[in-house]
Amino acid sequence: MEERQITLQIDHHFVTVPEGTTILEAAQKIGIDIPTLCHIDLKGTCIRNNPASCRICVVEVEGRRNLAPACATRCTEGMVVRTSTLRVMNARKIVAELILSDHPNECLTCPKAGNCELQNLALRFNIREMPFNGGELSPRKREVTASIVRNMDKCIFCRRCESVCNDVQTVGALGAIRRGFNTTIAPAFDKMMSDSECTYCGQCVAVCPVGALTERDHTNRLVEDLADPDKVVIVQTAPAVRAAIGEEFGLPAGTLVTGKMVAALRELGFDYVFDTDFAADLTIMEEGAEMLNRLARYLDGDRSVRLPILTSCCPAWVNFFEHQFPDLLDIPSTARSPQQMFGSIAKTWWAEKMGIPRERLVVVSIMPCLAKKYECDRDEFKTDGNPDVDYSISTRELARLIKRANISFTLLPDMDFDQPLGTSTGAGVIFGTTGGVMEAALRSVYEMYTGKTLKDVNFQAVRGMQGVRRATVDLDGFELKVGIAHGLGNARHLLDDIRHGRNEYHAIEIMACPGGCIGGGGQPLHHGNSAVLYARANALYREDAGKTIRKSHENPFIKTLYSEYLGKPLGEKAEHLLHTHYFNRSVQ
């Protein structure tokens, strides 16, 4: 049946929309930008929060006595809406002033300054004084975790973080507790996030409109390390960073700035600029070998082998299954994430080649992710207390540091990564988007399994933004069934099926963040615009298409690494340096 169309009038413009459309969406369609605060709807993903609680988006509807929230009011035939009358503007201003009345006046030193949606509204509504004295707020919790900083005095109760944590990610770490002026957003029993089931995915940070939830900043530490002449400071950059950091310098979303990013890192003073994509290729060697090994045993009739094999590159996802599915710890691949593989190889093979003692070498990672900060801290990735990756900086932090170091990013020349840990294939690049790890694995697994050359490396079936995708790949007669999920709620569906013995897959890729790493918690803020995520994903596929080598196992330096040092995938040395084990972290 065809959708019924409705025609209404907004600010004297006629607009026709399908039944069920909200006033906010109808207005957006004709370029009328109604301000919002609590509302977020990242179209094409499952990120949505629409409690209609802040009342910033009120509009006047003819024939209606009260102002209506545009985000939650559906259009009706013949409706006449006005979005900028004096009454509307005054109401909005008062709502904003009331929110500001118990918000700390710390804009000058707030990490969100300049990127704060509340601050932007104050500017937009021309608020020049604070007419209301707020109620007495009881001081709320502050907490610094390995990844996330929580300063609940700044919380405005939009509930975006709660929606994302519960409905999208189904982690359930954050929820509103108590009432009135004592309300706060916290884990159950008002525990610390670090004692909760939080996975550090950082999606709460990605949607927080104010400075209540922010990343743990390591830029000061980095500045000191870079200035220390006794230290050799090297950097690895995750694939998704190059597709997003340009946004922080005014470039359109999806602009690839790989070369400028490398140049900026050299300007900052890193001794060597390497690429996590190299380690992504290495991950495919190990994870692919593991997948083939499990498949071969399965096809030989060994029914004790655990299938499907699940990817393990995403530290928030690892946290998720350690907390929520401790009974399935033997299913994910034991391969470490690319970040950790990089650190491990940099501090052994590379450091030995270069004659740099471990204690002088500082490995920094630039990540689109906040969970990576926590991952660096995990004990199993340390040797005698010295971490393989010393610390991780988010895309946002790097952008801030580049500005602080007076570097005109857009004027920089394009430069290349250093060798050998900076050489990567197209397969490594697409790790940054949902479906990319699976596609990279398929390119290698196909050739390793069949012994034939793969003609077309583009596996369109695994690409896209649908929450759960499935595809069947013909491996010379054997039908390999693969699944892809992004967003932990989608992952939970697949895991529940596996737990209950319903499984149709041989291999599944999971990324915690909607869109994969391009939508990570450490990326430039999307402010609810999902076009940004699509543009970043496309940028990675463009970079892949432009590479001469597009299969991980053809990376010449990966070959050197195995012949010189590691031996073969899943060999003794590889197991020791590139694989890990998982823990039951269930808190209930």
Partner 1 sequence: MKLPCDVAGKVDAICDAHGNNPGELINILHEAQHLMGYLPEEMQKLIAGKLNIPVSKVYGVVTFYAFFTMTAKGKYPISVCMGTACYVRGGEKLLDEFKRVLGIDVGETTPDGRFSLDCLRCVGACGLAPVVMIGDKVYGRLQPVDVRRILEDLDA
- Near partner 1 by CB under 8 A, which window of 29-37, 46-54, 111-119, 181-189? 181-189
Binding status of residue 464 toward partner 1 by CB under 8 A: no
Query: Which CB atom, from 193 or from 421, has the smaller least distance to partner 1?
Result: 193
DSSP E strands, 103-231:
142-144, 148-151, 175-177, 184-186, 213-215
Smallest gap from Cβ 157 to partner 1, in A, equals 12
| Among 189, 300, 355, 453, interactor with partner 1 by CB under 8 A | 189
Instruction: Report how far residue 461's alpha carbon sits from residue 458's, in angstroms, rounded to the nearest whole number.
Output: 9
Could you tell me the smallest distance in angstroms from the CB atom of residue 148 to partner 1? Answer: 16
What string of DSSP letters covers 475-508?
ETTEEEEEEEEESHHHHHHHHHHHHTT----SEE
Catalytic residue among 54, 165, 513, 517: 517
Q: Taking the complex as a whole, how short is the minimal distance between the CB of residue 74 and partner 1, in angstroms?
A: 24
C-alpha 588/C-alpha 582 separation (Å) is: 18
Residue of 112, 260, 347, 372 marked active site: 372
**Considering the rule CB under 8 A, would residue 158 count as an interface residue with partner 1?**
no
- Please tell me which residue in 110, 155, 313, 314 is annotated as part of the active site: 313
**Nearest CB to partner 1, comparing residues 190 and 302:** 190
Smallest gap from Cβ 159 to partner 1, in A, equals 11
Number of residues that bind partner 1 (CB under 8 A): 16
Return contacts of 289-296, CB within 8 angstroms, 24+ apart: 289/448, 289/569, 289/570, 290/333, 290/334, 290/335, 290/570, 291/333, 291/441, 291/445, 291/506, 291/507, 292/445, 292/448, 292/449, 293/570, 295/449, 295/480, 295/506
- Please identify which of the residues 162, 197, 375, 509 carries the catalytic annotation: 375
User: Which one among 99, 100, 186, 284 touches partner 1, defined by CB under 8 A?
Assistant: 186
Looking at residues 160 to 179 of the shown chain, list those that interact with partner 1 (rule: CB under 8 A). Answer: 166, 171-179
Which member of 286, 287, 439, 543 is catalytic?
287
Residue with tokens 């319903």: 502
Nearer to partner 1, 172 or 259 (CB): 172
State the minimum distance, in angstroms, from the CB of residue 267 to partner 1.
45
CB of 511 to partner 1, least distance (A): 22
**Shortest Cβ 188–partner 1 spacing (Å):** 4
10 Å CB burial of residue 277 (0-12, 13-18, 19+) is buried
Residues sharing a CB contact under 8 Å with residue 64, sequence separation 6 or more, in sequence order: none
How far from 504 is each of 27, 312, 490, 496, CA to CA, in Å? 44, 19, 16, 13
524 upstream amide cis, omega within 30 of 0: no
Please name which of 24, 546, 574 lies closest in space to residue 258, comparing C-alpha atoms. 546
Q: Which of these ranges, 187-195, 412-420, 480-488, 537-545, lies near partner 1 under the rule CB under 8 A?
A: 187-195
Nearest to 444 by CA among 223, 283, 249, 299: 283
Stretch that binds partner 1, among 8-16, 143-151, 186-194, 372-380 (CB under 8 A): 186-194
d(C-alpha 504, C-alpha 480), whole Å:
10
> Which of 579, 520, 555 is closest to 444 using CA atoms?
555
Judge whether 88 and 60 are in contact, CB under 8 Å: yes
Give min distance, CB of 232 to partner 1, in A.
44
Give alpha helix (H) positions in 383-487. 395-404, 426-429, 436-450
User: Interface with partner 1 includes 421 (CB under 8 A)?
Assistant: no
The count of other CB atoms within 10 Å of the CB of residue 341 is: 29
Q: Which helix (H) or strand (E) holds 87?
A: helix 86-101
Residue 101 backbone dihedrals phi, psi, to 5 degrees: -60, -30
**Which range, of 182-190, 411-419, 462-470, 471-479, touches partner 1 by CB under 8 A?**
182-190
Binding flag, residue 588, partner 1 (CB under 8 A): yes
For residues 118 to 157, the per-residue mask of contacts with partner 1, x marking binding by CB under 8 A and - elsewhere, is: ----------------------------------------
545 vs 587 by CB, closer to partner 1: 587
**Contact between 512 and partner 1 per CB under 8 A:** no
Nearest-CA neighbor of 351 among 366, 341, 361, 337?
361
User: Is 224 among the residues known to form the active site?
Assistant: no
Question: Nearer Cβ to partner 1, position 183 or 450?
Answer: 183
Nearer to partner 1, 177 or 328 (CB): 177
Among the listed residues 19, 62, 359, 380, the single catalytic one is 380
Instruction: Give yes or no for a contact between 555 and 423, defined as CB atoms under 8 angstroms apart.
Output: yes
Q: Is 34 exposed, middle or buried (0-12, 13-18, 19+ CB in 10 A)?
A: buried
Q: Which residues contact 179 (CB under 8 A, 6 or more apart)?
A: none
Contacts of 303 by beta carbon, 8 Å cutoff, 6+ apart: none
**Is 293 among the residues that bind partner 1 (CB under 8 A)?**
no
Q: Which is nearer to partner 1, 177 or 223 (CB)?
A: 177
Catalytic annotation on 158? no
Is there binding between residue 192 and partner 1 (CB under 8 A)?
no
313 is catalytic: yes
Measure the CA–CA gap between 46 and 434, rounded to whole angstroms: 14
Residue with Cβ nearer partner 1 (5 or 182): 182
352 catalytically annotated: no
CB of 492 to partner 1, least distance (A): 11
Q: Is 372 in the active site?
A: yes
Q: Which is nearer to partner 1, 32 or 208 (CB)?
A: 208
Name the residue nearer to partner 1 (CB basis): 170 or 466. Answer: 170
- Check 196, 312, 333, 365 and give the catalytic one: 333
Question: For residues 440 and 511, is the Cβ–Cβ distance under 8 A?
Answer: no
Give least dist CB 40 to partner 1, A: 20
Least distance to partner 1, CB of residue 179, Å:
5
Distance CA 64, CA 58 (A): 12
User: For the chain, how far is it from start to end, CA to CA, in angstroms?
Assistant: 47
Active-site residue, 380 included? yes
Task: Name, in order, each residue with C-beta under 8 angstroms of 475's C-beta and a sequence gap of 6 or more.
Answer: 445, 446, 449, 450
14 lines the binding site for partner 1 (CB under 8 A): no
Q: For residue 447, indicate whether it is catalytic.
A: no
Catalytic choice (25, 290, 397, 543):
290
Residue nearer to partner 1 on the CB measure, 260 or 323: 323
Is 500 near partner 1 (CB under 8 A)?
Answer: no
User: Catalytic site residues?
Assistant: 287, 290, 313, 333, 372, 375, 380, 517
Chain positions contacting partner 1, by CB under 8 A: 166, 171-179, 186-190, 588
